[in-house]
């Protein structure tokens, strides 16, 4: 009698599957660490971060201006102003860090700076969303959704360009 069973290309034993998954994960983590240690990659991240921080500062200044002379703010306007009150000083400090990173030609590895990046950018996105919400709740939702989409686009594009198949290593 002929054996018509098909052997799948993946491990069927749970222990073997876990070991294979751990190996794939370790290989991926090693590739990412090697990639991130590349000085050219660090320089590009520094350039992109400086552009992002500067753009968010400019957006914040423009969005907060109309609220400066208003005595009474509604909830969305207050959220916009408070978010940018947090974002603008943090992003300004990050611009200075970026200049130092450019000078030293390497990225900062400080956890404090990393938290600042997350806080500054998140506060700015909240401020932009709240500012547009102040005009129209539909515009606010659309802005937040579009910001998430933009982050996904950047991430996918970067991943394809930098972590995709390379012809020469």
| DSSP assignment string, 133-162 | HHH-HHHHHHHHHHHHHHHHHHHHHHIIII
Q: What is the pLDDT of residue 4?
A: 56
Q: What mean pLDDT do residues 6-13 have?
A: 72
pLDDT (tens digit, 9 = 90+) per residue, 51-79? 999 999 999 999 999 999 988 999 999 99
pLDDT (tens digit, 9 = 90+) per residue, 125-150? 999 999 999 999 999 999 989 999 99
| Token representation of residue 43 | 């320089």
Percent of the chain surpassing pLDDT 70:
92
Task: With cut-offs at 50, 70 and 90, classify the pLDDT of residue 169.
Answer: very low
Q: Tell me the torsion sign for CA atoms 129, 85, 118, 75.
A: negative
d(CA 85, CA 63): 12
Q: What is the pLDDT of residue 25?
A: 80
User: What is the overall mean pLDDT for the chain?
Assistant: 87
Does the pLDDT at position 87 exceed 90? yes
**Per-position DSSP letters for 17-76, written without gaps between them:** HHHHHHHHHHHHHHHHHHHHT-HHHHHHHHHHHHHHHHHHHHHHHHHHGGGTT-SS--HH
Stronger pLDDT, 70 or 93, i.e. the higher one: 93
Q: What is the pLDDT of residue 62?
A: 96
Percent of the chain surpassing pLDDT 90:
54
Q: What is the pLDDT of residue 134?
A: 94
Q: What is the pLDDT of residue 168?
A: 45
Task: With cut-offs at 50, 70 and 90, classify the pLDDT of residue 85.
Answer: very high
d(CA 138, CA 48): 30
Q: What is the pLDDT of residue 166?
A: 53
């Amino acid at each position: 009698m002929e054996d018509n069973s098909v052997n799948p290309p993946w491990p069927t034993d749970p222990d073997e599957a876990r070991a294979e998954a751990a190996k794939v994960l370790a290989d991926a983590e090693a590739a990412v660490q090697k990639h991130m240690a590349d000085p050219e990659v660090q320089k590009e991240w520094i350039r992109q971060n400086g552009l992002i921080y500067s753009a968010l500062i400019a957006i914040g200044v423009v969005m907060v201006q109309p609220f400066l002379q208003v005595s009474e703010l509604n909830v969305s306007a207050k959220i916009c102003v408070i978010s940018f009150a947090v974002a603008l000083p943090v992003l300004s400090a990050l611009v200075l860090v970026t200049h130092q990173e450019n000078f030293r030609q390497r990225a900062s590895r400080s956890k404090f700076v990393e938290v600042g990046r997350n806080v500054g950018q998140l506060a700015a996105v909240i401020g932009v969303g709240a500012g547009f919400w102040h005009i129209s709740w539909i515009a606010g939702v659309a802005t937040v959704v579009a910001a998430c989409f933009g982050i996904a686009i950047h991430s996918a594009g970067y991943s394809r360009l930098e972590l995709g198949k390379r012809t020469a290593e």
